[in-house]
Amino acid sequence: MIIKRGSNYAVMYPVWSPTGSHLICRRNKTTLPLEDDVCRANADGTGQTNLTGDIGGFAVPFAWR
């Protein structure tokens, strides 16, 4: 499921936190070099944080604990 497509990325597979205060998602870079990141944001879309940094490669499936 793609929820947003920007000029250089697509945001996919959103998962709400158990409290509903945050969202994590996979951000897929659509330009070379290709890579995926896992990002977290507040429920209103502010405060976006890249949780995987610039490690390169591809993010794996994820879930809240």
- Record the tokens describing residue 52, joined without a space: 């995987």
Exposed / middle / buried, residue 6 (Cβ in 10 Å: 0-12, 13-18, 19+):
exposed
Give CA–CA dist 20/33, Å, rounded: 33
pLDDT tens, position by position, 5-55: 566 888 888 889 999 999 988 888 888 887 788 889 998 888 888 888 766
User: What is the pTM for the complete model shown?
Assistant: 0.68
